[in-house]
Chains A and B, each alone.
Chain A
Amino acid sequence: MDYKELFISAFQALRSNFMRTFLTMLGIIIGISSVILIFSIGQGAVAFVTNELSSFGTNFFQINPGSSALASLTGGAETITTQDVDAIRRNQSFTNIQEVGAFVTSTLTVSANEIDKTLLIYGMSPEISDMLKPNMVQGEFYSEESNLEAQRVVVIGAKAAETFFGKDANVIGEKIKIGNKTYRIVGVARSSSVLFGSFFDNAIFIPFNTARNEIPGGVHIREVDISVKNVNLINDTIAQVTAFLRDRHNLKEKDQNDFIVASATDAISTIQTITNMLTLVIVAISAISLVVGGVGVMNIMLVSVTERTKEIGLLKSIGALERDILLQFLIEAAVMSGLGGILGILVGIGGAFLVSILFGIPFIVNPVAILIAFGVSMMVGIIFGIYPARRAAKLSPIDALRYE
């Protein structure tokens, strides 16, 4: 039997039951579109994060206290001291090191303009601003001199400034109270990164040494950031600094590091790995809905075979071979799920485009993913179509003709 005729009759059969066909396809459409959508968003997210992190440059690495990522995140570990930072700064043998910055953090009540707010306070050495490269909306970042003299000056995040003083107010020289001490605002900063903006722009930055003197818990370093002159030698520098710190902390050879070192490149690749893994996991989960869609196809094909028993009997009486009947129903199932796949791809791409606009992440559509999605949708139709089609093909012509 020629394939053109088979496809024509498959389309005819599907069209004559339009609503049912569409509802069955919906399962496939949802499955395929969610796979395409999530995959596209995932890839967009990876591209976004990579971009964000690269915007700070890749020529630095960070040291966090604690022997595990968890300890360093919760801030419980206190294994890196100011003395460590000073020792790294003073060590002349680290020829590749450009700058060493460090910060402490604390959450405190900040008051200004008769408004009280609990905000994140960074006690930050000025070198960090060279690495984070914030946009100064007003004024300037506090100087090295302010840090050395432990002056009570602050740089305030753009959103925090708005909270206290209103939009577009000139806040340079304004007074702000942290705890019970009064500070003078010298600058308003906005993060150059969308990703970090949400907390950076709501934070308050005071000089590192000021924090050490005046902020409770201000002596415990949360992070040390070290920039290098030659990024190609960054791993050597990391090794040198690691050995140096281990020596200072009197760690024996078998002891683990009591701090965590990661380069910006490491961080990027870690986040890429995590995001990719998450994407794959969610894609795998949404692929389950494809199986559900496939079961829907099988179900409706079984109904169709039963409904068309007499038709099958008629076709057999005029000479249809088992293979002809099998192919007819198989092609119907494949056309149904294939069309569902195409619609699903279109919906998925449309959705991904909307998400990319709404969330400002890059719009990435992977042609390979689309081909795979289409192939999978066809496969789903064929796999789940086989059983009903075989049932149709195996019907005895007499029983089929007699069926009422």
Chain B
Amino acid sequence: MGSGEAYVAINGISLIIGEGQFVSIMGPSGSGKSTLMHILGALDTVTTGTYLLKGKNITSYTQDELAKIRNKDIGFVFQSFNLLPRTSVFKNVERPMIYAGIKPQERKERVMHALELVGIADKVNNLSNQLSGGQIQRVAIARALIMNPAIILADEPTGNLDSTTSHEIMTLLHDLHEKGSTVAVITHDEKIASFAHRKIQILDGKITKDEGTGF
């Protein structure tokens, strides 16, 4: 956890997410789903137990080593504050590749490709504050894709959207899964969770339900 003493947010969870799965992690607030997401997303480390990502044990990684993992293997989509303020769509999507040291020419090509994939290539030069909520999430998904991560972690990706736009975004995530991406959506919303092919329910730090194959 961030500060102070560690307290038990999740306990005894044993979870394997396979490559190419589309998983939803559902639970009410305080259930520990955020903590689970932080660990899956290499934002935090477990106090006991182990976390293997692509078969690598990253349990005792340092902050900078975790940052590199997040850069290459995790694609985040948050509920809000997904984009750098007053920064163009292009610059936002490009940023992870800058941290990875990818050359400008390749960055440009990959940004355009990702934006086409999420259907927002025409907004490439818009500033982040000139976009609608749905467009912002599309840009965030493009950024999450850009490094070909092991998993896309979407934390309440539709929390700020109306139902039509929510449906579009979930359809987009579903399409990405169809094309082979591993996607995990963290949500408290049953309807959103139902887009996934594997539904995990978590309550009081424990998995209470895990159904579906994920494919």
Contacts and interface: CB of A to CB of B under 8 A. Distances in A.
Contacts of B3: 396, 399
Given A1-B99, A398-B38, A401-B78, A317 B2 contact: no
A321 B67 contact: yes
A396 B83 CA distance: 19
Interface string B52-80: 00000000000110011011101010100
12 contacts: A1-B101, A311-B81, A315-B84, A316-B43, A317-B70, A317-B76, A319-B71, A397-B43, A397-B67, A398-B38, A398-B43, A399-B2
Contacts of B165: none
Nearest to B94: A5
Interface in A293-329: 310-311, 314-324
B135 interface: no
Contact of A12 (B76, B87, B100): B87
B189 interface: no
A40 B83 CA distance: 48
B214 interface: no
A95 B63 CA distance: 87
Contacts of A252: none
A402 B2 contact: yes
A12 B96 CA distance: 18
A317 B43 contact: yes
A398 B76 CA distance: 13
Interface of A: 1-2, 5, 9, 12, 16, 310-311, 314-324, 396-399, 401-402
A1 B86 contact: no
Contacts of B95: 315, 318
A399 B87 CA distance: 23
A320 B86 contact: no
Given A316-B67, A401-B43, 18 more contacts: A16-B85, A311-B85, A314-B81, A317-B41, A318-B143, A319-B99, A320-B99, A321-B67, A322-B64, A322-B67, A323-B64, A396-B3, A397-B67, A397-B70, A398-B1, A398-B44, A399-B2, A399-B3
A396 B64 CA distance: 11
Contacts of B82: 314
A325 to B, nearest CB: 10
B84 A314 contact: yes
B98 interface: yes
Contacts of A2: 98, 101
A148 B101 CA distance: 94
Contact of A318 (B1, B38, B87, B99): B99
Nearest to B66: A397
At the interface, is chain A mostly helix, strand, loop or mixed? helix
A16 B86 contact: yes
Nearest to B62: A322
A319 B2 contact: no
Interface string B107-142: 000000000000000000000000000000000000
B70 A319 contact: yes
Contacts of A402: 2
Contacts of A16: 85-86
B2 A398 contact: yes
Contact of A5 (B70, B96, B98): B98
A355 to B, nearest CB: 42
B149 to A, nearest CB: 10
Contacts of B72: 319
A319 B76 CA distance: 10
B81 A310 contact: yes
Chain B CB within 10 Å, residue with most, of A1, A2, A319: A319
Interface string B191-213: 00000000000000000000000
A397 B74 CA distance: 14
B63 A319 contact: no
Interface in B1-28: 1-3
A324 B95 CA distance: 11
Nearest to B96: A318
A282 B106 CA distance: 55
A311 B86 contact: no
Contacts of A12: 86-87
Nearest to A4: B104
A399 B44 CA distance: 10
